[in-house]
């Protein structure tokens, strides 16, 4: 086994420096400053603090990238985008209300009524709203005209939608785009599971979707 090369013998005796000089050198290393006595524990704490600061800066930089990406998508200011992201929850999966969720259910239902109450007259839609949240609320109301589990031909879907608004083709496309109807080989049916929404999508979808849609899809 090879080891480190042996040092050549020397007849000169090493010169011993005063204790004060040797200890001072150690203080410079541990304390990172001249003439300051720092313990090993204190120095370790400083290194840990510095590492934490680096991690914090890294996380802040990553978060700023996310904020700027949202600004590009939504046109919001930096302050508004940051505030919205800090308040966002993880992606929401719609779940049916239970007995303890009655208050949430009632609040969502009142919002739904407020969004669509003035848009329908005798069951017909007066106009298709431009705002996405109002449009989603309208589509949820239109979805009640369809029966979960039944397969519809395109003419059958058109006939149902004509009873709501003359632009049946637009309503049909939007029902598919919002993942309320699914289409395959020219046939349609109500989706079997409520869609999973991203935090940004949740801002444009009424809470009524989360509390009502699963119950409707289950046939209850």
Q: What is the pLDDT of residue 216?
A: 93
Note whether 119 and 220 are within 8 A (CB): no
The whole-chain average pLDDT of the chain stands at 75
Give the span between the Cα atoms of 176 and 125, in whole angstroms.
Answer: 18
CB 158 within 8 A of CB 168: yes
Of 163 and 38, more confident: 163
DSSP for 118-164, please give it. TTEETTEES---SSHHHHHHHHHHHHTTS-TT--EEHHHHHHHHHTT
**Model pTM?**
0.55
Q: What is the pLDDT of residue 67?
A: 66
More confident residue, 138 or 57: 138
pLDDT value at residue 90: 52
- pLDDT, tens only, 33-53: 444 444 444 444 444 444 444
The pLDDT confidence band at residue 4, using thresholds 50, 70 and 90, is very low
Percent of the chain with pLDDT over 90: 48
Residue 159 CB: number of other CB atoms within 10 A? 12
pLDDT at 219: 78
Per-residue pLDDT, averaged over 166-178, amounts to 97
């Amino acid at each position: 086994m090879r080891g480190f090369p042996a040092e050549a013998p020397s007849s000169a005796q090493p010169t011993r420096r005063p204790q004060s000089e040797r200890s001072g050198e150690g203080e410079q290393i541990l304390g990172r400053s001249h003439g300051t006595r720092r313990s090993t524990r204190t120095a370790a704490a400083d290194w840990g603090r510095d590492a934490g600061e680096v991690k914090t800066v890294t996380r802040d930089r990553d978060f700023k990238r996310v904020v700027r990406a949202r600004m590009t998508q939504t046109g919001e200011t930096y302050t508004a985008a940051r505030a919205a992201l800090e308040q966002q929850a993880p992606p929401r999966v719609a779940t049916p209300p239970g007995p303890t969720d009655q208050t949430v259910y009632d609040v969502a239902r009142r919002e739904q009524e407020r969004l669509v109450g003035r848009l329908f007259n005798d069951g017909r839609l007066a106009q298709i709203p431009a705002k996405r949240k109002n449009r989603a609320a309208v589509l949820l109301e239109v979805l009640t005209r369809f029966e979960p589990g039944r397969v519809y031909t395109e003419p059958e879907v058109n006939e149902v939608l004509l009873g709501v608004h003359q632009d049946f083709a637009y309503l049909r496309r939007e029902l598919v785009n919002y993942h309320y109807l699914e289409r395959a080989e020219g046939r349609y049916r109500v989706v079997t599971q409520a869609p999973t929404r991203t935090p940004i999508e949740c801002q444009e979808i009424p809470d009524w979707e989360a509390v009502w849609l699963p119950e409707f899809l289950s046939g209850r």
